[in-house]
Amino acid sequence: MKFIISSSLLLKNLQAIIGVINSNNTLPILDDFLFDLKDDLLTITTSDLETTMSVTVKPDKSEADGSLAIPAKILVDTLKTLPDVPVSFTIDLGTLLIEISAGEGKFKMSGHKSDEYPHTPPLEEPTSITLPSGVLSKAITKTIFATGNDELRLVLSGVFCQLSPDDITFVATDAHKLVRYTRLDFKAENSATFILPKKPLNLLKNILTAQDTEVNVEYNRTNAFFSFMNVSLICRLIDGKYPNYEAVIPKENPNHMVIDRISLLNSIRRVSIFANQSTHQVRFKITGKELLLTAEDVDFSNEGKERLTCAYDGEDLEIGFNSKFLMEMLGNIDAGEVRMEMSTPNKAGLLLPANIENKDEDILMLVMPVMLNK
């Protein structure tokens, strides 16, 4: 098995999929890339048994088809040190010895048998939908930060996808904050719901952000398969029933505040420096057209206050929020001004764009309040 390929091309493709590899694998073979050379095309695969990701590249020159598992870290570390030069791989499938030549450098390492590498599960009876990469990456970016990390509540650690003949909706929540992102300009033939895990979504987001292409998404009851350009990813769906998120979104919110998003974000950023570092509590006191932000840490006699002007319609209100949650949410809304809808200090507040810039896009964010210290 022999092929010659550009070092920078190979490195770029390896870096796109190396994120699948866990730092502590139970099977040593999962620390490897699977290289499969067939009909002048090189397919490189990584897997952690839950997620499998592949890229296909065309070498400058190739001969003698074959497949072998190659240790990932040593290969990537070697390629990182090379300039953009042709790299020659000569692999003895009998002894599993790999010889790499680049310029004046020659390197040797040992691979592993390819038949020990886990096979990609076939996707049986899938349903499919095609989405632009920009739409999918935006949906992931707008929701993934709100997913939970509690291993006991696995369903909350992923993004809930709701496909229907009317629209597609992505939802994420950790029980403290919630994001619902809907696209009205894309539809599925049949209704379906499934929960996508966080890890493969982060891998997709990292690649899709820089691409402008169509992504084919296939899914059944157990797996989802994404394919675009020279990349394919298959992942196991999270098994379980997602909570009824619509039930927690408050419908009656008589108090409405409209405020400049960047001004509010920067004020919270400054004031929260003085907040208690375990609660991250910031107090909102809204009266007339004025918002007073306050944060304090009594143990260290720290206090921060800042006033902002706003457009407010409702009764005077004092309510507390976790500043970290608010900063994440404000950072993920594309709007000059935001609208906060609230009712009482112990009920969830809603955060929405003040003006609809894209009629085919709908985003709603919910944040639970924190108990105010008297």
The whole-number average pLDDT for the span 219-237 is 96
The CA distance from 312 to 61, in Å, is 67
Beta bridge partners of residue 59, listed in sequence order: none
Residue 374 has a pLDDT of: 61
Which pLDDT band, with edges at 50, 70 and 90, does 90 fall under? very high
Least confident of 8-17, 171-180, 353-362: 353-362
pLDDT above 90: residue 262 = yes
Residue 372 has a pLDDT of: 81
Residue 259 has a pLDDT of: 97
The CA distance from 118 to 51, in Å, is 11
321 close to 284: Cβ distance less than 8 angstroms: yes
The whole-number average pLDDT for the span 7-34 is 95
The CA distance from 319 to 285, in Å, is 7
Closest of 109, 9, 121, 39 to residue 68, by C-alpha: 109
Residue 358 has a pLDDT of: 85
List pLDDT tens digits, range 149-191.
Answer: 988 899 999 999 999 999 999 999 999 999 999 999 999 999 9
Residue 119 has a pLDDT of: 87
In the chain the first and final C-alpha atoms are separated, in Å, by 73
Residue 356 has a pLDDT of: 84
When the pLDDT of each residue in the chain is averaged and rounded to a whole number, the result is 95
Three-class SS state of 293:
strand
The residue among 288 and 170 whose pLDDT is bigger is 170
DSSP 8-class letter at 110: E
The CA distance from 292 to 260, in Å, is 14
Name the token pair of 267: 């004020």
pLDDT above 80: residue 209 = yes
Give residue 186's identity as a one-letter amino acid code. Answer: F
Beta bridge partners of residue 5, listed in sequence order: 87
Residue 94 has a pLDDT of: 95
Which pLDDT band, with edges at 50, 70 and 90, does 371 fall under? confident
Three-class SS state of 199:
helix
List pLDDT tens digits, range 213-224.
Answer: 999 999 999 999
Residue 16 has a pLDDT of: 95
The CA distance from 180 to 51, in Å, is 25
> How many CA atoms lie less than 13 Å away from 295 in the CB half-sphere?
23
313 close to 306: Cβ distance less than 8 angstroms: no
Least confident of 63-67, 222-226, 293-297, 369-373: 369-373
Cβ neighbours of residue 349 closer than 8 Å, sequence gap 6 or more: 253, 319, 321, 340, 341, 342, 366, 367, 369
Which pLDDT band, with edges at 50, 70 and 90, does 26 fall under? confident
Closest of 116, 117, 197, 126 to residue 161, by C-alpha: 197
Residue 121 has a pLDDT of: 74
The whole-number average pLDDT for the span 257-273 is 97
> How many CA atoms lie less than 13 Å away from 257 in the CB half-sphere?
27
Least confident of 46-50, 300-304, 335-339, 370-374: 370-374
The CA distance from 78 to 373, in Å, is 56
- pTM reported for the whole predicted model: 0.92
